[in-house]
Amino acid sequence: MSKLTRQVAVLAVSVATAAVLVACGGRDEPAAAPVSAASGPTGVPVPDAAASAGKPALTVSVVVPQRSDWSRTLSANGSIAPWQESIVSAEQGGYRLAEVLVNVGDRVKRGQVLARMAVDTVQVELAATRAALAETEATLAEAQANAERARQLQTTGAISAQQINQYITAEKTARARLQAQRARLQSDELRLRKTTIAAPDDGVISARLATVGAVAGNGQELFRLIRGGRLEWRAEVTAAELSQIRTGMQAELQLPDGSTTAGRVRMVAPTVDPQTRNGLVYVDLTAAQAGASAAVRAGMFARGEFALGSTPALTLPQAAVALRDGFQYAFALESEAAPGLWRVKQAKLQLGRRLADRVEVTGGLAPDARVVAQGVGFLTDGDLVRVVDGTPAAAAAPARPASR
């Protein structure tokens, strides 16, 4: 090996040794603590408390739970049905329907003609009855005259007592026949009137089975009528909830098209279905009339709420609540690490009602807790946050989650 080669090898070993020593020396030196621009009494820089506490995860604003009176409601499902539905039938059968004057959805008044039957047969029978009545009246007049003469001759002995009795009996018989004919005339006139089908009450026609030309049977259903056009909501509630509802309570229904309508409890069912263990609540829909609006129709399914009164509630904005693993959490300020810097404590909440953008807290949080208002989805338990809500952090006592 030449002299030049040996010198290059020695130089390479020296450079490698120096690099190792420098590296080892860098690891052994302690890291300098962060210092602030201010100096202590001796002129030595003082470590910054905020820097030593760590870097904040978020800059946040805080809120305090609010107490307010919230209305208490009970939700239920049910169907909309007519208050009462009348069945309009043919009171006599065997006659052909000559006219049908209404259709489904028509509003009718009490006594309004809905349909007419053919009256030819009834009119012929009525004419025959009137003729028989006139004949009976003539027979009675003759019998009365004979009986009167017999009474006048009774004291003279011109006719026997037997003949007198016969004239008087004939008079009574003629009078009875006249009464029978008059009753038959009234019956035929009633049959004629019943060939006209009239509405029994004000309302809306909900079904029509009558057809022109069909022969109606006795008692056959021809129309269905929603009385007064009144509709009701028949809500199903559990047996436990049934006791909370009283007659006269207000209710609000959410209709399928997204609109709402008001109602009032008319009656609470006195029994509970033994199969479902549910009871019915009958709610009059005060503003809804059958056929008046396409939004409310009999047979619809609707969801509604009963107003049970108001109760105090401790509430938070929904943005202050985080959902994790099926549970709800809030982050409350626990301890101050430095001016304006706080550590947060994760609090598991128990929630109740929701109203607009606020939610009721029923457990898990102290009423005076200071809670992170937004961005809670980026926080974890023990994180450091910078508070910029404008309220001096030192002025408020540290708030801890309420024990469960």
Classify domain 77-83+229-310 by CATH architecture.
Answer: Beta Barrel (2.40)
- Domain range list for the chain: 3-30, 77-83+229-310, 87-223, 321-395
Q: Which pLDDT score is estimated for 6?
A: 54
pLDDT for 337: 82
pLDDT at site 400 = 37
pLDDT score for 389: 60
The bridge status of strand 58-60 relative to strand 384-387 is parallel
CA angle 82-117-226, nearest 5°?
Answer: 5
Distance of CA 229 to the CA centre of its chain: 20
The confidence score (pLDDT) of residue 204 equals 92
Q: What's the distance, CA 175 to chain centroid?
A: 68
Q: What is the pLDDT of residue 245?
A: 92
The one-digit pLDDT tens for each residue of the chain (404 residues) are 444 445 444 445 454 444 433 344 433 333 444 444 444 444 444 445 555 556 777 888 899 998 888 888 889 999 999 999 999 999 888 899 999 999 998 999 999 999 999 998 889 999 999 999 999 999 999 999 988 888 888 778 788 888 889 989 999 999 999 999 999 999 999 999 999 999 999 999 999 999 999 999 888 999 999 998 899 999 999 998 998 999 999 999 988 888 888 999 999 999 999 999 999 999 998 766 665 666 788 888 999 999 888 888 889 999 999 998 889 999 998 888 888 888 889 999 998 888 888 998 989 888 889 999 888 888 888 888 888 864 433 333 333 333 33
Contact of 369 with 65, CB cutoff 8 Å: yes
Residue pair 282/249 in contact by the 8 Å Cβ criterion: no
Rounded CA separation 393/333 (Å): 9
- Tokens 């959805």 belong to residue: 105
Phi, psi angle pair for 279, to nearest 5°: -120, 160
